[in-house]
Amino acid sequence: MLLAVACAFGAPIRGAEDEKPVFTVIFTAEAHGALLPCDCPLQPLGGVARRAALIKQYRSRGPVVLVDAGGWAAGGIYDDDSDGNPERDRLRTDLMAKAMALMKYDAMFDAAGKSLPLPPQYFPGERDIILNEIDLDAAAEKASGLARVMAVALPGNDGKAMSPAFKVGLARIGEEALNDAVAQKQAADLVISAGRKTSTRISWTVGGTVVANFDYQVQRLGIAEVFQRKDAQAEGGVRWDVRVTQVPLTPEIAPDAEIDALLAPHLDRLRKKGKQVVEIEFWTLPECPYCAKFEPDLAKIAEELGDRVRIVPRFLVEKNPGGGFSAMHGPRELEEARIQAIVADYDPKLFFPWVQWREQHPEAPWEDGAKELGIVKGRIAGALDAGRDQELFERDYQLSLQRRVQGTPTLVFSNKIYEGELERLRVLRALCGMLDAPKPAVCATVPACFADAECRKRGFVGKCREAGTPQAACDYAQKAVPVPVTVLLEPETIYSNHERILEILLARLPGMAWRVLDPASDEGRALAEKVKPDRYPAYLIDPAAKSEWEYKENFEGSVEERAGWLLLKSEVQGAHRIAGRPRIPGRVDLFAARSSQPGTWAVEIAVEAKAWRQAPDVVLHDALFWNERRSPDGQVTRELAARGGLAEIEDAALAQAVRMLAPEKLDAYLLERGKRRASQFGWDRALEKAGVDVARARTLAEGPDGAGPVPEVAKALRAEADLLEQLKAGGDVVLLGENCEVIPVRSREELRYYLEQIGKRKK
């Protein structure tokens, strides 16, 4: 199985016998009525019955505090299981509340988001925990953005709480908002984040506070083990070591019988079926040309499906620093968007007639359109005077962030972004596939498929017969070839995209059965010695795959034969762990193109990380590479290059000079240099500010005669380019974790997260 490395289940709980936590905080958030395991491509994860069983395992180990940060009820913008039937959603909410009561949650909110009272205190012989509410009117907690804060402590021999208490905060303001406010106020030792999730981070540190992220629909259970630090200062020090992980709720976990019995009478209604009504969000702007092109098709779809769909126009506006709004194509577009938003708010059915009228009368005042469509002008004018347009824009702006809508036109069907082609029949096919029987008559005329890729079924080769016609159908007559796949993956890896790669492989090998194997295990080591992968994860595909349908089209050029296996090429699947490099726990090599904005903030974060309590061992490099030139006679020459051109190479030479003259001043120089990046006029000033001898540094970087750097500096620059070439990596920021993992970095938050995780692993 995929998670055989993480769970030999019977013992999913991590931690050595001689190092047990003082207590464990188990947390959930944003379940949105997900009572049953997900219908996921690789394997069904989650489900409240598995959750309850795993919680019991942790409770058998020691004291546990069980909390939920909200969003557990059915409904809302993240609930993709709602079928448009409010009675079914109420049932899901009621069953979730009963299941959480059976699991004995210590702290949670009600369905409306209001804090529920804490249960009675637990004393020895019950749960060995004392849990007290902290007054949220206190300035520190209130300013931190937390919804509630609790103090957790084990009781002493006299039954009273031992000091110091450990504070757990529950927040619903979203991941991005949990930053300086939490750190400055020090409102809690551990904060459970709920609301909007913007990264894949499991946990991170803000000041002295550990922030833990939720897993959507609780497919993985959040675990925070709390250890008391032996080296903490008596006053003002960080007393707790909090270790956060997420344990997948896999099929290997035997479901809890009590929860199973709760759900059993309702399983038929709970299992996903078609929806009675599909809500369609249409993200648009008045002067978006592709929106205008698609609007007639969408209007026709709305007419054909009738009351089985509900179209809600949304406007992809931007929010200005001052609080106002702007639109992509300027003020004129924004003004028309105001009117369209108010018209749609007044009566959504008038939206498409209004758009059609505006297309025919691009210069006419809105009052003419209101008269023609029978809208009382005072309704629009009054809404504008009352600022209703601002309220609608704010609503759509916040929703666009939550949905991660990137452009127009975008369709969202029942809380999920539609990623198919914006063409009438294809959109109709997607909608008809979501609707419950009896389906609208038009669905009988819609092609069931347009390509083989749309006919996917585990264990069968799907073929689209008569593609794109009303007679089209998915043919599953041919069974897929059973194909064993072994994934060699280190369990201590910092970053891995292996689940995503397995999903892609599954689409091409529907008969695939996979397992994950540690290359350091006896079997894994034997396989690695035979196949000799250059990077991990390594995907070893059984040659039986060659007899699968369209093998040549799907795999030619993507695999190579080694020792009786088909090895997926590392450059195809983005393997990140370099096999030939030893792991050095806590080590970070960060390559930055310092003339770029990402390169500048990468340096700033790396320097900041050196001062963390659990600081990684950071080595900063300039991102230099080799540029090869071939002469007419076939001779190849190599010269140093950088994304910022010659000026960036000269900048790298100066940095090497500072390393040679005063390595302790390098960070100060790089920070000063970053204030005027890509400007030659900033060199001397940065050197002076950092306290480096300008003349000596320039002599080393430019040479005594100005013809180029001295040999020692030139050698160091070549070594930088050689190393980046060995890593087969490039970009404004390249992170080499623990001397062996090339980790993709897409944002400041991700870089901080990975540096923090690596720092915690330092021996």
Please provide the DSSP assignment of 143-212 as one string: HTTEEEEEEEE-B-TTSSBPSSPEEEEEE-S-TTTSSHHHHHHT--SEEEE-S---S--SEEEETTEEEE
Contact between 189 and 240 under an 8 Å Cβ cutoff? The reply is yes
pLDDT at 722 exceeding the cut of 50: yes
pLDDT band for position 275 (50/70/90)? confident
Position 512 confidence tier, pLDDT thresholds 50, 70, 90: very high
Residues 395-417 have a mean pLDDT of 87
pLDDT at 462: 92
Q: Check whether 163 has a pLDDT greater than 90.
A: no
Does the structure show a pLDDT above 50 at 15?
no
Q: What pLDDT, on a 0 to 100 scale, did the predictor assign at position 706?
A: 82
User: Can you give the pLDDT at residue 681?
Assistant: 64
pLDDT at 51: 97
Check residue 234 and give its pLDDT: 43
Q: Which residue has the tokens 């030999």?
A: 8
The pLDDT > 90 percentage for the chain reads: 58
What does the pLDDT look like over 58-109, one tens digit per residue? Answer: 999 989 999 999 999 998 777 888 877 788 899 999 999 999 999 999 999 9
- Runs of H (alpha helix) within 545-596: 551-555, 570-573
| DSSP 8-state assignment for residue 70 | S
Could you say which DSSP state residue 440 is in? P
Q: Which CATH number fits domain 23-270: 3.30.365.10, 3.90.1010.10, 3.40.190.10, 3.60.21.10?
A: 3.60.21.10
Higher-confidence residue of 415 and 426: namely 426
168, pLDDT greater than 90: yes
Provide the percentage of residues in the chain whose pLDDT is more than 70: 92
User: How sure is the predictor about 350, in pLDDT bands with cuts at 50, 70 and 90?
Assistant: very high
pLDDT (tens digit, 9 = 90+) per residue, 580-605? 899 999 999 999 999 888 899 999 99
Q: Using the predicted structure, report yes or no on whether residue 162 has a pLDDT greater than 80.
A: no
645-693 pLDDT tens trace:
888 999 999 999 999 999 999 999 999 888 877 666 677 888 989 899 9
Total-model pTM: 0.74
Q: Is the pLDDT of residue 321 over 80?
A: no
Residue 534: the pLDDT is 94
Q: Which long-range contacts (CB under 8 A, 24 or more apart) does 55-60 make?
A: 55/26, 55/103, 55/221, 56/256, 57/12, 57/13, 58/13, 58/24, 58/26, 58/223, 59/127
**What stretch(es) of the chain map to CATH 3.40.30.10?**
278-434, 587-760
pLDDT surpasses 70 at 184: no
Query: Residue 90 has what pLDDT?
Result: 93
CATH node for 483-578: 3.40.30
Residue 491 pLDDT grade (very low, low, confident, very high; cuts 50, 70, 90) = confident
pLDDT of 125 > 80? The answer is: no
Confidence of residue 8 (pLDDT cuts 50, 70, 90): very low
**pLDDT band for position 20 (cuts 50, 70, 90):** confident
pLDDT at position 1 is 19
Rounded mean pLDDT of the chain? 87
Q: Token match 């359109």: residue?
A: 369
Q: Write the burial class of residue 248 (CB in 10 Å: 0-12 exposed, 13-18 middle, 19+ buried).
A: buried
Provide the CATH topology of domain 587-760: Glutaredoxin (3.40.30)
Give dist(CA 454, CA 464) in Å, integer.
8
Angle, alpha carbons 583-585-587 (nearest 5°)? 95
Band of residue 143 on the pLDDT scale cut at 50, 70, 90: low
Are the C-beta atoms of residues 542 and 565 closer than 8 Å to each other?
Answer: yes
Partners of residue 737 on adjacent β-strands: 588, 741
pLDDT at 406: 83
Cα of first residue to Cα of last residue in the chain, in angstroms, is: 31
pLDDT above 70 (res 11):
no
Report the range of poorest mean pLDDT among 115-124, 234-243, 254-263, 503-512.
234-243
Pinpoint the residues of the chain covered by CATH 3.60.21.10: 23-270
User: By C-alpha distance, which of 337, 262, 323 is closest to 103?
Assistant: 262
According to the model, what pLDDT value does residue 185 have? 65
Q: Does domain 278-434 have CATH number 3.90.1570.10?
A: no
Report whether pLDDT(634) > 80: no
Residue 179 pLDDT grade (very low, low, confident, very high; cuts 50, 70, 90): low
pLDDT band for position 560 (50/70/90)? very high
Whole-number pLDDT of residue 668: 93
Res. 160: pLDDT tops 70: no
- Mean pLDDT across 138-166: 72
> If you count them, how many residues does the chain have?
763
- The rounded Cα 274 to chain-centroid distance in angstroms is 28
506: Cα within 13 Å, side-chain hemisphere: 18
- What's the token pair of residue 443? 């669905």
